[in-house]
C-alpha cells in the first residue's frame, strides 16, 4: 500500500508500456496498479490492455469451482504451497459471487491466504463479481490477462459453482478443477447437472472426513454412466488442511495443461479474448434495450400484440437503431 498519494500518469502508449515493463520486472506495486485500473476499467485500461497483448499466453490458468464450503480456498492455498516448492510463480483470483451483505467470504479468503502474502512469488486478488449474478465478471478475465502479462507461471481462479458461473470458468480457464466434499448434502446430484461436464479434474476434498470414500464412489458411479471421454477423467481425493493428495492434484493440473500446450499460447489468448467480446456484445444488447426506453418497447409490444410484428422481428428493430 502506498501512502504517498502520488498518482501515476498513464495517458500514452509509452507510459502504459513502461508500467507493464515494471510489472513484468516483478514490481508488486506496478502489478497492483495495473489490476486496479483494469478492474475499474479506467481511461488507462485500454492503453494497458493494448500494451499487454504481446506478453499474453504464457500462464496456465486453472479454475477451481464447486459448492460453497467444499474447501476451494483451503485447497487453493495448498496448491500455492506446492507450486512454490516447485519454483513456479502464482497469481490468484478469488471471485466472490455474494452480495456485499455476506461479504465475509472475501474476508475469509484474504485471511486464509495471508500466509502467501509475504512471498513475492504469489499475488492474490479478491474480486466481487458485482452485477453479474453469479457469473464471472469481465474484470476477472482482464485480471487474468494482467497476471499472465506479469509473467506468472500459473493463475488460480476460485469461483463458487452456481449457475452461470461454471460455464464461464469453462470458457476462460485452461484447466478446470471441480471440487466436491462429503457432507454437503445432495451435492453429487447437483453436480451431475453441469459441473461434471466441464471438469478436467474432479476432486473429492475433506478426505479426512467420514463419507469421503462414499462421495468418491458416488462420483465414479456418476462418471461411469457418462460418455467414454468422461471415464478417463482424473478423480482425486485430497485433504486440503494437511496437503494430502495435493502433489497428485498439481501433477494432474500440469498434465492437463500440457494437453493444451499443443494448441499453443494463441489458443489460450484467443479463448479469453473471445469471452470478453461475447460478454461485451451481450452488454451492448442490454444497453441498447435500456437506451430505447420503455416507450420504444411499448410501441413494439403493441405491434406484436396487434399481430403486425413477430417478437424476433421486433427485437431486430430494437437493436438496429444505433
> Using CB under 6 A as the criterion, which residues of the chain lie in contact with ligand GTP when the complex forms?
68-74, 105, 108, 160, 205-206, 208-209, 239-241
Which is nearer to ligand GTP, 240 or 253 (by Cβ)?
240
User: How would you class 212 by CB atoms within 10 Å of its CB: exposed for 0-12, middle for 13-18, buried for 19 or more?
Assistant: buried
- Residue 186 burial by Cβ neighbours in a 10 Å radius (0-12, 13-18, 19+): exposed
* C-beta of 56 vs 181, nearer to ligand GTP: 181
> Of 83, 47, 46, 86, nearest to 62 (Cα)?
83
**Residue 69 or 211 having the CB closest to ligand GTP:** 69
Q: Which is nearer to ligand GTP, 74 or 165 (CB)?
A: 74
Nearer to ligand GTP, 88 or 209 (CB): 209
Binding test (CB under 5 A) with Mg ion, winner from 73, 137, 162, 215: 73
- When CB distances are held under 5 to 8 angstroms depending on the partner's kind, the choice from ligand GTP, Mg ion, none that residue 209 binds is ligand GTP
Residue 239 binds which of ligand GTP, Mg ion, none (CB < 5-8 A, kind-dependent):
ligand GTP
Of the pair 72, 279, the CB lying nearest ligand GTP is at: 72
Minimum CB distance to ligand GTP, residue 239 (Å): 4
Cell of 297: 418497447
From the list 72-80, 117-125, 219-227, 259-267, the region that binds Mg ion by CB under 5 A is: 72-80
- Residue 58 vs 112, nearer CB to Mg ion: 112
In which residue are the cell numbers 497476471 written? Answer: 147
Find which of Mg ion, ligand GTP, none residue 34 binds, CB within 5 to 8 Å per kind. none
Q: How far is the CB of 168 from ligand GTP (least distance, A)?
A: 16
- Interaction with Mg ion in 107-166: which residues (CB under 5 A)? none
Site stretch for Mg ion (CB under 5 A), options 29-37, 68-76, 147-155, 177-185: 68-76
Q: How far is the CB of 34 from ligand GTP (least distance, A)?
A: 26
* Residue 257 binding result from ligand GTP, Mg ion, none, given CB thresholds of 5 to 8 Å by partner type: none
Task: Return the one option of Mg ion, ligand GTP, none that residue 240 interacts with (CB less than 5 to 8 A, by type).
Answer: ligand GTP
Contacts with Mg ion, residue ranges (CB under 5 A): 72-73
Amino acid at each position: 500500500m502506498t501512502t504517498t498519494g502520488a498518482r501515476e500518469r498513464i495517458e500514452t502508449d509509452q507510459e502504459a508500456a513502461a508500467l507493464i515493463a515494471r510489472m513484468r520486472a516483478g514490481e508488486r506495486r506496478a502489478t497492483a496498479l495495473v489490476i486496479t485500473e483494469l478492474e475499474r476499467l479506467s481511461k488507462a485500461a485500454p492503453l494497458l490492455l493494448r500494451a499487454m497483448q504481446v506478453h499474453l499466453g504464457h500462464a496456465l490458468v486453472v479454475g477451481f469451482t464447486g459448492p460453497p464450503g467444499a474447501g476451494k480456498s483451503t485447497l487453493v492455498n495448498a496448491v500455492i504451497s506446492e507450486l512454490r516448492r516447485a519454483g513456479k510463480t502464482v497469481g490468484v483470483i478469488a471471485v466472490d459471487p455474494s452480495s456485499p451483505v455476506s461479504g465475509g467470504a472475501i474476508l475469509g479468503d484474504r485471511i486464509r491466504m495471508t500466509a502467501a502474502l509475504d512471498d513475492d512469488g504469489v499475488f492474490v486478488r479478491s474480486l466481487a463479481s458485482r452485477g453479474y449474478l453469479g457469473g464471472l465478471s469481465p474484470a476477472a478475465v482482464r485480471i487474468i490477462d494482467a497476471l499472465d502479462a506479469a509473467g506468472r507461471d500459473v493463475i488460480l481462479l476460485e469461483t463458487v459453482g452456481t449457475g452461470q458461473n461454471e460455464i464461464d470458468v469453462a470458457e476462460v480457464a485452461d484447466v478446470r478443477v471441480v471440487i466436491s466434499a462429503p457432507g454437503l448434502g445432495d451435492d453429487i446430484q447437483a453436480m451431475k447437472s453441469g459441473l461434471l461436464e466441464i471438469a478436467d479434474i474432479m476432486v473429492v476434498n475433506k478426505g479426512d472426513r467420514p463419507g469421503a470414500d462414499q462421495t468418491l464412489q458416488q462420483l465414479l458411479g456418476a462418471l461411469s454412466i457418462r460418455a467414454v471421454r468422461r471415464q478417463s477423467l482424473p478423480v482425486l481425493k485430497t485433504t486440503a488442511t494437511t496437503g494430502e493428495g495435493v502433489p497428485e492434484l498439481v501433477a494432474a493440473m500440469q498434465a492437463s495443461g500440457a494437453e493444451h500446450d499443443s494448441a499453443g499460447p494463441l489458443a489460450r489468448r484467443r479463448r479469453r479474448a473471445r469471452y470478453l467480446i461475447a460478454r461485451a456484445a451481450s452488454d451492448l444488447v442490454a444497453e441498447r434495450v435500456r437506451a430505447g426506453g420503455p416507450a420504444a418497447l411499448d410501441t413494439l409490444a403493441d405491434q406484436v400484440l396487434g399481430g403486425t410484428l413477430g417478437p424476433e422481428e421486433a427485437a431486430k428493430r430494437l437493436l438496429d437503431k444505433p
